[in-house]
Amino acid sequence: MGGVRDAVAALRAAGCTVAFVPTMGALHEGHLTLVRRARAIADAVVVSIFVNPLQFGAGEDLDRYPRTLDSDLGALAREGADLVFAPTADEMYPYGAVETNVTAGHVGTLYEGASRPGHFDGMLTVVAKLFHIVRPDIAVFGQKDAQQVFLVRRMVADLNVPLAIEIVPTVREPDGLAMSSRNRYLDADGRRTALALSEALAAAGAAAGDGLDEVLAEAAGAFGDHDGIELDYLVVVDPTTFLPVDDGATGRATVLVAARVGGTRLIDNADIELG
Ligand code: PAF
């Protein structure tokens, strides 16, 4: 803990600005795009790798979450990351359970938060801890986790955390599937079925000019084309409040979708312009 703090302090003393990319490892091209963005906007890049138990609920995939530290370190070395912080759970939570945590407000109970109670409290708590440990100038997140991005931005604003947030667009496979560490759980059939999410978002975008009802109907239709997928939620939100838009809303909106393919929960989102 002191090691990473001292190393960042030394970078700062040398006049470097520091960008920080928090991850849970199992790095893919989406993460590496965050690292490249961090390199482009700061002098030094710090990446954390920590599978945070606090943001997994009972019965979720904490135990089987992919852990690929050696290949992650190799990829980060190739990308020129200056520092990798990969603490153990005991280092991050020396007292075991936390006595104090960050609690997401109402938005944290919706969508992902409704399906994964406590997830966002655990996520914000570890992000706050990582911010305090690393003390970056800029923290870089992926738009793929849109609700996480909204809540981290709000935490930073609500608690006057002294850093800037940089958001990087979702990186997709050539066929449209959003990159995710959880894609590794999918077999070939599941991988094909998972395309329902990006197809739903494309359908939503195509129908955006026709208003909310049409967007929801067209997007839901994409799920009818696939077997073996269970839609969790499909919702259109105002990106400034993250609350569902009203009937008749126009302008920029964000479509959020989550679904379960076999035992794998996947999320995706896209901005649309409601007409
Ligand atoms: O997006 C993630 O990988 C995690 O939620 C984060 C931000 C690293 C916190 O554990």
Residue ID of nearest Cα to ligand 1 atom 8: 23
Class of domain 181-274: alpha beta
How confident is the model over 229-258, as pLDDT tens digits? Answer: 999 999 999 999 999 999 999 999 999 999
Residue percentage of the chain with pLDDT more than 90:
97
Which secondary structure element, helix H or strand E, spans residue 18, and what is its range?
A: strand 18-23
Active site residues: 31
Can you tell me which atom of ligand 1 is nearest the CA of 181? 3
Per DSSP bridges, beta strands 251-261 and 229-237 are antiparallel
Strand partners, 84: 47
Question: Which whole number is the average pLDDT over 59-70?
Answer: 96
How confident is the model over 85-131, as pLDDT tens digits? Answer: 999 999 999 999 999 999 999 999 999 999 999 999 999 999 999 99
What distance in angstroms lies between residue 123's CA and the mean position of ligand 1's atoms? Answer: 6
Strand partners, 258: 233, 267
Can you tell me which atom of ligand 1 is nearest the CA of 22? 8
- Judged against a pLDDT cut of 90, whether residue 225 lies above it is answered with no
Q: Can you give the pLDDT at residue 2?
A: 78
Distance CA 268, CA 145 (A): 7
- Mutational pocket test of ligand 1: of 27, 148, 153, 181, the residue with most ligand atoms within 8 Å of the beta carbon: 148
Distance CA 188, CA 215 (A): 29
Can you tell me which atom of ligand 1 is nearest the CA of 127? 9
- What the block records as the tokens of 48 is 């954390």
How confident is the model over 141-159, as pLDDT tens digits? Answer: 999 999 999 999 999 999 9
What distance in angstroms lies between residue 14's CA and the mean position of ligand 1's atoms? Answer: 29
Burial group, residue 246, by CB count within 10 angstroms (0-12, 13-18, 19+): exposed
Strand partners, 20: 46, 139
- Judged against a pLDDT cut of 90, whether residue 79 lies above it is answered with yes
Domain boundaries, the chain: 2-168, 181-274
Distance CA 80, CA 74 (A): 10
CATH of segment(s) 2-168: 3.40.50.620
How confident is the model over 2-58, as pLDDT tens digits? Answer: 799 999 999 999 999 999 999 999 999 999 999 999 999 999 999 999 999 999 999
Per-residue confidence at 165, pLDDT binned at 50, 70, 90?
very high
Residue ID of nearest Cα to ligand 1 atom 9: 123
